[in-house]
Amino acid sequence: MPEQIAVIGAGSWGTALAVVLAKNGHTVELISNNPEQIEEIRETGENSAYLPGVKVPSGIYVHGDMEESVKKAGIVLLGIPSHAVREVVRQIKPYLNRDKIVVNAAKGLEENTMLRMSQVFEQETGGTLQDNFVVLTGPSHAEEVGREMPTAIVAAGRKRMIAEKVQDIFMSPNFRVYTNPDIVGVEIGGALKNVIAICTGVAEGLGLGDNSKAALITRGLAEIARLGVKLGANPLTFAGLTGIGDLIVTCTSPHSRNRKAGLAIGRGKSVPEAIASVKMVVEGFRTTRAAWQLAREQGVVMPITEKAYEVLYEGRNPREAVYELMTREKKHEIEDVISSTYPDW
């Protein structure tokens, strides 16, 4: 059944998801906070700064009146960066109720509070709408989704029926959506892969090879899962689309904003220059600090995140950071389960 959907945020991801939804026959409004962008999309059918080369169907109504759009919608999709989620939820909460579903597509932890986006939403709305909150996450670059290249992602929610509703509105032959009840796991995977993607970009920028990249991805996954499990996530989630899947795509894709920022740092740009050169949000920058703080607070060992923090915030030389990671004390690969699973080893 066609739904009325408000997509907030006309960056690359909000635009690509709006296109998927419109092609699935839904009534879609795309909300932008930039009048020039609204005019451009209306006149040319293209969002040239964020998603060049992708046709935005004329049926998508692009405008700036967020409140009006949310009032009318049955489903509200947050396609904004994670640092804007609190402010936007604060603005729209008077118009939310138990008949509306809120889908968050932002991947990040909030700076200072270290909160996941579902927790930010819960704080702002008082917890009464949590059953209607769904996280949409997984390996999915807007540039490919906009070009209808086959993509598989995850809709995670507290209530199976609500997650399945989100699955249904998005599913198409080129966009496959799985459901998952593990909100903590998918949020931690989605937010922290961006930290590792910056690191793989740095390694590539330093001229290191595929072995280093594979080491960062897999040891990155080990520390992400360690934190996630400590916070209550299901370990199996990290073996799925929102864990290893999103790490693979973000750490290796030429589209990745986080990888691009890392690449620039590895090639010698300053951190602010590197972030600015990307022109779109580099989520892993803020999330690195939040994850570093969270790891310390939780007593979880996250050596790669720690080095990312030192490079991004303390001016640590990336080559030295690599050397320090490689010369840490020796370890078992499956350290966390050695004594419980192999007591005699």
Ligand X SMILES: O=C(CO)COP(=O)(O)O
Site for ligand NAI in 84-103 (CB under 6 A): 84, 87-88
Question: H or E stretch including 328?
Answer: none
Write each residue from 46 to 65 as x if it is in contact with ligand NAI (CB under 6 A), else as -, in one continuous string: ----x---------------
Q: Which of 200, 258, 288, 305 binds ligand X (CB under 6 A)?
A: 258
Give the phi and the psi of residue 78 in degrees, each rounded to 5: -95, 110
- The residues, ordered by sequence, that sit 6+ positions from 320 with a Cβ below 8 Å of its Cβ are none
The verdict on whether residue 34 carries a ligand-binding annotation is no
Q: Which of 256, 287, 288, 305 binds ligand X (CB under 6 A)?
A: 256
> What minimum distance in Å lies between the beta carbon of 280 and ligand NAI?
3
| Residue of this chain nearest to ligand NAI (CB atom) | 11
Q: How many CA atoms lie within 13 A of 34 on its CB side?
A: 11
Does the active-site annotation cover 193? yes
Give the type of residue at 61: Y
Q: Which of 215, 231, 280, 325 binds ligand NAI (CB under 6 A)?
A: 280
Report residue 224 as tokens: 């992400």
Q: Are strands 133-137 and 151-157 parallel, antiparallel or unpaired?
A: antiparallel
Report residue 208 as tokens: 């290191």
Write each residue from 171 to 200 as x if it is in contact with ligand X (CB under 6 A), else as -, in one continuous string: -----------------------x--x---
Q: Are 261 and 318 in contact (CB under 8 A)?
A: no
Contact range with ligand NAI by CB under 6 A, out of 79-87, 157-165, 225-233, 331-339: 79-87
The verdict on whether residue 256 carries a ligand-binding annotation is yes
Contact range with ligand X by CB under 6 A, out of 65-73, 121-129, 133-141, 300-308: 133-141
Is 283 a residue that touches ligand X (CB under 6 A)?
yes
Is 104 a residue that touches ligand X (CB under 6 A)?
no
- The residues, ordered by sequence, that sit 6+ positions from 139 with a Cβ below 8 Å of its Cβ are 151, 152, 153, 241, 245, 246, 248, 249, 250
Q: How many residues can be counted in the chain?
A: 345
Give the type of residue at 91: Q
Give the phi and the psi of residue 17 in degrees, each rounded to 5: -70, -35
Active-site pick, 193, 213, 260, 307: 193
Count residues near ligand NAI (CB under 6 A).
27
Give the E-state strand segments of 126-217 in sequence order. 133-137, 151-157, 175-180
> What minimum distance in Å lies between the beta carbon of 115 and ligand NAI?
14
Q: Which of 9, 81, 139, 228 binds ligand X (CB under 6 A)?
A: 139
Cα 310–120–103 angle (5° rounding)?
Answer: 110
Catalytic residues: 193
Residues that bind ligand X (CB under 6 A): 107, 139-141, 194, 197, 246, 249-250, 255-258, 283
